[in-house]
Structure 1
């Protein structure tokens, strides 16, 4: 017991510090993403820009900014870039397509059903889809408590949709929000697969390549909508697009990938609930949107269910006392001999 405890404790301390940094990264990303919907909603009100065009410019500008940072401030000890193996190509392509669907469908949901409901449905359904994907493709068990939490989330989503009064919830916007959640789940499951198999991609590299793929996917759709907006307020639109590209994209996405790499996916889902809460507050206070009793009830039920899902998934991974006989996780320091 003494030998094992002495050997494992420093590693657990380092892991704890890494987890705290990851949580801080996720919290910051969630706070900035909570402002994305409001910024996009103002862009819609100020111009004829569509969701595909906004997504394209956000991906492209974010990629250019990250490449500029790499040139101006190269990472220490930088070596030659790994060759584009089949696994890396599939990872970048899948993540880029998933993010393109996530972002564009979310912007469409904001346009069709409003900021508050669009954000709440997207961020409420995404952890449920992620848990299902983890079970189907990664063999992760959700457990009885997790299944109850998924059922509660679906019940909250049903209440939210059925309460759709005119001007509050629109079915087309809800469908786009669910599609956005599915895109998020694809990117999340791929990220978890990458960590499990030790691909070791840096957050900045994964973000740059994902944005490149996303921009390529969105270009024809953005071209059809119109790449240049017609607006009576060009300064406002340009400023908002610059904010989207810098703070909520080039800064927030690498932080999100960095945090997700060291924090449990279930924990990350709970931290990212900062986003819908912040977005809903902004929508009600500054954008004139309203929340009905049913919408609030469905929202609270969904958020409570997702928190329960996170607890259910996190419980089996609680650190056991040394010598109990439980097997360490495949990538844990305690497994090395």
Structure 2
């Protein structure tokens, strides 16, 4: 089955679930720093290594049960080695640059600069590399998301790091890496015959290799004063916000426009905000709540706009049972 056969609504749902999982990663990484004394590069390395191991185990299971649905990793890499290397390096860059930004500029500034500039960079890149046109509705929704992030920045009680300008530069570098991976994943997803999972796996292998030398310089091994908690946090970080989340994200990119995916992924800071309130006792004032509402508007509006746009491109009126049923046959032929 082609990845393009996935319904658009399910693709949006995959991206949203991935972003929700990502939203938990910052809290886990911060806890690893406190419990295990791990720096940003070593956290990224262990996240990649654990995620890679879980993805590899899942791949072997898929190969044993349904080999026709699980291309060999060698075949996947050979099909487009440059794409694999760029994806892996991009993943490593934007994850590590984000953690470095948090260290230099503070959590709030780093998160808002990275996620606020990401959709803009994706929209510009998608226009020139993929020929995607967002239109007035898409531009309005994207602007709403960016304004929402700005309001969150103004209203949050984050602290400024020791080198804010350097941190902002790292955040922009992280956004560039994220935009590149998003655009490449979308472009590859258009013609991907079901190898998205394997492409994710090979990308993480490259990213792990890229991070290893820097992690060795920073200090690779965590403190094991509380080994069970430390190992548990590493496993969670590698499983949920890494292996599961990135697989869902790249699956969703096969059917969702890159710009839409980038704004739907803004669910991540919403998740982080909820964790901050429930776990760390942070307060949300009116400005933060307004920003949150604007982010939710952007996500929901773009999801509906994506669905309506696909329905219109098939010559089918937006959701109506009778029309959808009559158009089902021609629409499936057009997709094939």
Shorter-chain TM-score: what band? 0.7 to 0.9
Q: 1:76 aligns with which of 66, 76, 101?
A: 66
The structure in which a higher percent of residues are helix is: 2
What are the residue-to-residue correspondences of 1:212-291 with 2, within 5 Å?
A: 212-230=205-223, 232-289=225-282
Distance apart, 1:233 and its partner CA: 2.9
Residues 99, 323 of structure 1: CA spacing in aligned structure 2 closer, same or farther, 3 A cutoff?
Answer: closer
Aligned to 2:56: 67
CA distance in 2, matches of 1:323, 1:30: 30
Paired position in structure 2 for 1:43: 32
Distance 2:155 2:48 in 1: 34
- The yes-or-no answer on 1:31 pairing with 2:30 is no
- CA separation of 1:168/1:156 partners in 2, compared to 1, >3 Å: closer, same or farther? farther
From 126, 138, 143, give the equivalent of 1:134: 126
Q: CA deviation at 1:291?
A: 5.4
Alpha-carbon offset, residue 156 of structure 1: 5.4
Structure 1 gaps of 5+ residues are 1-13, 325-331
For structure 2, the residue ranges without an aligned partner over 5 or more in a row are 318-330
From 89, 99, 109, the counterpart of 1:107: 99
Q: Does 1:193 align with 2:198?
A: no
What do you get for the CA RMSD once the two structures are aligned? Answer: 3.5
Structure 1, 71-80 or 148-157: larger mean CA deviation: 148-157
For residues 118 and 261 of structure 2, the distance between their equivalents in structure 1, rounded to whole angstroms, comes to 12
Indicate if the aligned counterparts of 2:117 and 2:175 stay in contact, CA closer than 8 A: yes
**Cα 1:236–1:187 shift into 2, 3 Å:** same
Q: Is the 8 A contact 1:161 1:171 kept in 2?
A: no
- d(CA) in 1 for partners of 2:214 and 2:196? 27
SS at match of 2:222: coil
Q: Report the TM-score, using the length of structure 1 for normalisation.
A: 0.76
- Residue 34 of structure 1 aligns to a residue whose secondary structure is helix
Instruction: Please tell me whether the aligned partners of residues 149 and 309 of structure 1 are also in contact (alpha carbons under 8 angstroms).
Output: yes
Count residues in correspondence: 314
Query: Is the Cα–Cα contact under 8 Å of residues 101 and 166 in structure 2 kept in the other structure?
Result: yes
Give yes or no for the alignment of 1:123 onto 2:115. Answer: yes
SS at match of 1:82: helix
